[in-house]
Structure 1
C-alpha cells in the first residue's frame, strides 16, 4: 500500500479520539447523556456508520456483571463514566471477565485510584497511538520490500493484514497473562 493510502487509513482510525477527565461533567448523567457523550467522542472511529458506540444494553450488562459500582437514582457519576470508557477501550481485546478482574484493582480501596489510572491510561493512549502509526508505516515498508510480494498490491495487503493480526494476538496474549497473574496475586 502506498504511503498516502496508508496515511489516509491511519487518519481514518481517529486514534486521538478519547474522553479526557475534563470532558466528563462533574454532575451525574442519565444513561442517554452517557451514550451521547460516547457517541460524540467516538462516532468517527466506528467501522460502519450504523454501528453504535455504546448502547443502553451494554451499560446495563456492565452494571449487572458488577463491572460498575451501584448506580444511584439512574444517574452515572464521573467514576462510572471513567469505568465505562476503560471497558470500552479494553473490550475489543480482553474478555469481560478479564476486564472485571483488572478493574477490581481500582475498587478495592487502597490499591489503584481510578482517576490516576484513567488519566495515565489516556496519556499512554496518545503515546501508543504515535508508536502504532510509526510501527505500521515501518511494517508496510518491510512488506513492500519483501522479495515474495514483487510489488503485488493484493499480496502486500494480505501480508500486512496477517502481520497486524499476529501482532494483535501477541499483545492480547501478553495482556491476558498479566491479568491472570494479577488474579493469582489476589487469591
Structure 2
C-alpha cells in the first residue's frame, strides 16, 4: 500500500518526441533521459529503468540499427523507448521480430520513424483514457474483492499478451 507521503506511481508515461533533444546523445545522457522520463512509473523507488548493460545487450541482439561514434540519434531513442515498453511483456527474440521491419525501414529511409512513433503515442493516449474510464475505485474493496480484481486484471493482461503473441507469430512467417 502506498504511504500518504509517497507519490502514487503513474500508470503510464511515454517518451514524447518533444522530450528528445535535437542533438545526438552519449549513453550516459540516454540513461539520464530515460530515468527522468520513466521514474514516476516505477513500482519502487530506485528501480532500474535502463542501464549501459541493457543498451549494450539490445545492440548486440540487433534490436536497433548500429550506433555511430558512440552517439544515439533521435531514432535510436525512439527505438529504445519502444523496447522499454515491450520488454515487460515480451522476450528479446519477440521484440527483435517486432522491430526488425521497422529498423530496416528506418535504415533504408522508407519509414518515417517520428511519424510512426507519434501515431503510437496517439494510440497510447487513447488507450490510457479508455483504461482510466474503466477503472473501479479500489478504496472500499475488502481483501477478497481486491484479490478478485487482481486476478481479473492479470487475466485480461494475459489475454492481450496472447493476442499480441499471435500477431508476432504472424510477423515471423
Name the TM-score, length of structure 2 as normaliser: 0.87
- The alpha carbon displacement at 1:76 in A equals 0.5
Give the secondary-structure state (helix, strand or coil) at the position aligned to 2:50: coil
* Structure ID, larger Rg: 1
Listed one character per residue, the Cα deviations across residues 86-142 of structure 1 (whole Å, up to 9, x for unaligned) are 0001111111111111111212237643222211111111111111122232xx68x
Q: Which gives a bigger RCO, structure 1 or 2 (Cα 8 Å, sep 6+)?
A: 1
Aligned twin of 1:156: 145
Output aligned runs, 1:1-187, within 5 Å. Answer: 12-109=8-105, 112-137=111-136, 153-184=142-173
Give the secondary-structure state (helix, strand or coil) at the position aligned to 2:163: helix
Name the CA distance, whole Å, in 2 between partners of 1:152 and 1:78: 45
Q: CA RMSD in A?
A: 2.3
Listed one character per residue, the Cα deviations across residues 145-178 of structure 1 (whole Å, up to 9, x for unaligned) are xxxxxx8700101000000000000000000100
Q: Which runs of 4+ in 1 moved over 6 A?
A: none
Unaligned runs of 5+ in 1: 142-150
Name the CA distance, whole Å, in 1 between partners of 2:14 and 2:85: 9
Name the CA distance, whole Å, in 2 between partners of 1:66 and 1:119: 23
Unaligned runs of 5+ in 2: none
Name the CA distance, whole Å, in 2 between partners of 1:107 and 1:116: 14
Name the TM-score, length of structure 1 as normaliser: 0.81
Q: Which one has the bigger helix percentage?
A: 1
